[in-house]
Chains A and B, each alone.
Chain A
């Protein structure tokens, strides 16, 4: 039987009066990359925020439906527990500006008591920065503030911060949308290696069909709050059943 890392079932989300998600259903098998693709304003980011319960921060948000990670309903447990195991990287690079590069990565593990000694913490920080392909660029200035880093480096630091908690699931909300192509390639490389070597399940939100095809195993195409089409990436990309999907893949939507 296939083990699903994430199962989203008939998910509805309202933000105030607006019905943002209208019955979204999809499943992500463990150790795979699922790309959620679609034009802007379709509700892709809202799906991610429903999975790790960041929507709780918005008092206007109302959620109906079911979201399970490894079979556990995320709305039946504390949100902090969910977020501890479900990492997230945002569209805007957002390292904490007041603490060093090292502390940005180390803060989560320290506060969650994941490490027992300074040596263990040092190793974890190095591991996370290596996985995010940033170690070589920052190893000599770990105690500098992240404000001196470039946009792409900041984004990789955000990825390292998420990885340092050794999450089982990683949510990526258009992580390469605001950075240059070289940095974007590095992040894509990092994502592939994370899934391959660490067995983390990734959900990637993107509006770039080419990126979805390069990285993902499964594709979910969303339009106006609904899932239009989903399946293995090859099938959806090469033989789309819906005209909307086809038009989006051609760059017409």
Chain B
């Protein structure tokens, strides 16, 4: 067989491989589209309906005014519910970070102890827990027994329990990824375990920790089930104290979309659009602002 014949024969083999390569690539692209289609669809539908709803009264009016669903020409906005969500998110984030940071550090830095493994296991179990059950439990304790009425504090507590495991796992993972030799370096200059953790490990893992906090924050802003039996759903006015009934954007969407009148639906779509913008905005801005520590 001449050299040119060998080349031509081998090229035939490669042609077959190229075809298989194209088929494989097509399948992967198709799978990618299937996976992301729902996301694009949600963003598209929410944007189309949301922009229509918000432009009916104007953005500022929509963000600040109370709802007025009895007037289809001027349905008002979601101001008080937005403030309610803000209160819940801030409270939840504070509570959850205070609990999740020590728990995450404990899981990552004392990973050989039985208590630490148990903490991780419990966090994973809690993550799978139906959020409606968490809402119900908090209702039984903080609404029915302790305070006697729907209140914002109970909502924040229920949300804290929901987001806590996500934050704990994310924080412990962020710390776990720090190379072992940095721990050795810190201990080798005589730092105690506590100083090693808060001077070296937590700052080095700050980006991962922040991502954990943001996942929690986004979840807190979007969760509905824990609020069903806890905050009541007063959408027309901002609560004067944490022990009073209040509203939140996801709960407003849930309640209003079930109403038979068009004005309610307009408000719900507008609220959904704002919620989506807030959650996505927080993610994008903080990713851009907080720099990753290069190792």
Contact = CB atoms under 8 A, between A and B. Distances in A.
Interface in B164-220: 179, 181-192, 195, 199-200, 203-204, 206
B185 A96 contact: yes
A124 B94 CA distance: 40
A81 interface: yes
A162 B195 contact: no
Interface string A160-204: 011001000000000000000000000000000000000000000
A213 interface: no
Given A59-B112, A111-B199, A161 B189 contact: yes
Nearest to A84: B190
Interface in A96-113: 96-99, 107-108, 111-112
Contact of A165 (B182, B190, B200, B295): B190
A54 interface: yes
B199 A107 contact: yes
Nearest to B200: A96
A184 B183 CA distance: 24
- Assign chain A's interface to a size class: 20 to 34
Contacts, number: 69
A83 B195 contact: no
A32 interface: no
B12 interface: no
A108 B184 contact: no
B294 interface: yes
A135 interface: no
B189 A165 contact: yes
Contacts of B183: 57
B185 A158 contact: yes
Contact of A92 (B181, B204, B293, B294): B181
Interface in B148-173: none
Interface string A60-83: 000000000000000000011101
26 contacts: A54-B184, A57-B184, A57-B187, A59-B112, A80-B191, A83-B187, A83-B188, A84-B190, A87-B189, A88-B188, A90-B184, A92-B181, A96-B185, A96-B186, A97-B204, A97-B293, A97-B294, A97-B295, A98-B200, A107-B189, A108-B189, A111-B190, A158-B185, A161-B185, A162-B189, A165-B190
Interface of B: 112, 179, 181-192, 195, 199-200, 203-204, 206, 293-295
